[in-house]
């Protein structure tokens, strides 16, 4: 459904990605792991159109989308949970959720009620400003906001970053429901074991290149170590 072909990206003179080839099939869950600065966030920023690329570098259902702007990419059904949540401070929790489905409201499982069923605490806090919530609750809003458009593909950037383990567990507990709704999920994660526990397949990035691509069930600790640090353990 989504494919990148020789995807490159740079910030001015600094090159961040060197030819990434990656695929995501419909309904699949793919984890992208790698150390800080490996290019994971840059990869997501390229796919979502925040960074523009050559048109043919990214294909969605066979259409070149690499040069589309972020709003056009989103309207094709690719939703993003950005790093650091990035809730809108002047919007309430409910408004933050509503704005996620305001422009594109694909048909599917997700509605305000379904989001509140997935994360019941949000119903209680729905009139609070988004930024008045705890980190974990904010993350729930960010995920719910992305789901409101009933996306075909959900991109999650570091959803466990800065959260307590028990909160991370609660958020990951929602993943099976999300997958059951039919959305493919791409998880960018630092927490490798957490990512492996839910993903079908794994890509490991190092210094802007894919150093490992494997089925999550077949992957070994040694292979990850080698991909992470660039040499055999």
Partner 1 sequence: MIWLDTVVQGVLLGGLYALFAAGLSLVFGIMRLVNLAHGDLIVASAFLILIVVETLGLNPFLAALVAAPALFALGWALQRFVLNRVLGKDILPPLLVTFGLSVALQNGMLELFSADSQRIAAGPLESASIDLGIVTVGTMPLLTFASAVLVIFLLNRLFYSTALGRAFRATSDDAVTASLMGINPKSVFAIATGLAMVIVTIAALYLGMRANFDPSVGPARLIYAFEAVIIGGLGSLWGTLIGGAIIGVAQTVGAQLNPEWQILAGHLAFLVVLILRPRGLFPRAVD
Q: Using CB under 8 A as the criterion, which residues of the chain lie in contact with partner 1 when the complex forms?
A: 48-50, 69-71, 74-75, 79-80, 82, 86, 88-91, 95, 98-100, 102-104, 129, 145, 149
Smallest gap from Cβ 63 to partner 1, in A, equals: 17
Q: Which is nearer to partner 1, 145 or 194 (CB)?
A: 145
Query: Helical H runs in 22-164?
Result: 40-48, 70-75, 93-100, 112-118, 120-124, 135-147
Q: Which is nearer to partner 1, 60 or 201 (CB)?
A: 60
Q: Which is nearer to partner 1, 141 or 224 (CB)?
A: 141
Distances (CA, A) of 37 to 5, 48, 89, 205, 228: 21, 19, 28, 9, 12
Q: Which is nearer to partner 1, 52 or 109 (CB)?
A: 52
Smallest gap from Cβ 104 to partner 1, in A, equals: 5
Q: Which is nearer to partner 1, 129 or 135 (CB)?
A: 129
How many whole angstroms separate alpha carbon 66 and alpha carbon 73?
9
- Give the CB-side neighbour count of residue 146, counting CA atoms within 13 A: 28
Percent helix, strand and coil across the chain, each to the nearest 5: 40, 25, 35
CA 171 to centroid of chain Cα atoms = 14
Task: Copy the structure tokens of residue 79.
Answer: 């939703």
Distances (CA, A) of 111 to 4, 5, 94, 158: 30, 34, 12, 24
Smallest gap from Cβ 48 to partner 1, in A, equals: 6
Smallest gap from Cβ 70 to partner 1, in A, equals: 4
Smallest gap from Cβ 73 to partner 1, in A, equals: 9
Smallest gap from Cβ 89 to partner 1, in A, equals: 5
Q: Is the dihedral of CA 123, 28, 64, 204 positive or negative?
A: positive
How many whole angstroms separate alpha carbon 229 and alpha carbon 212?
11
Q: Which is nearer to partner 1, 16 or 87 (CB)?
A: 87
């Amino acid at each position: 459904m989504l494919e990148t072909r020789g995807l490159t990206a740079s910030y001015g003179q600094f090159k961040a990605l060197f030819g990434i080839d990656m695929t995501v099939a419909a309904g699949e869950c793919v984890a992208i792991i790698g150390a800080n600065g490996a290019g994971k966030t840059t990869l997501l920023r390229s796919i979502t159109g925040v960074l523009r690329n050559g048109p043919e570098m990214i294909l969605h259902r066979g259409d070149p989308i690499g040069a589309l702007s972020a709003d056009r990419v989103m309207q094709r059904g690719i939703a993003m949970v950005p790093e650091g949540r990035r809730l809108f401070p002047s919007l309430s929790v409910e408004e933050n959720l509503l704005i996620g489905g305001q422009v594109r409201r694909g048909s599917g499982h997700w509605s305000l009620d379904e989001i509140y069923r997935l994360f019941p605490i949000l119903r209680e806090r729905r009139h609070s400003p988004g930024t008045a919530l705890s980190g974990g609750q904010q993350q729930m809003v960010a995920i719910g906001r992305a789901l409101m458009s009933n996306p075909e593909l959900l991109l999650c950037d570091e959803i466990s970053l800065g959260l307590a383990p028990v909160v991370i567990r609660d958020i990951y507990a929602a993943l099976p429901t999300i997958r059951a709704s039919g959305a493919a999920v791409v998880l960018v994660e630092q927490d490798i074991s957490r990512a492996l526990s839910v993903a079908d397949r794994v890509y490991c990035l190092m210094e802007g290149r894919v150093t490992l691509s494997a089925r999550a069930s077949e992957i070994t600790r040694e292979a990850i170590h080698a991909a992470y640090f660039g040499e055999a353990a």
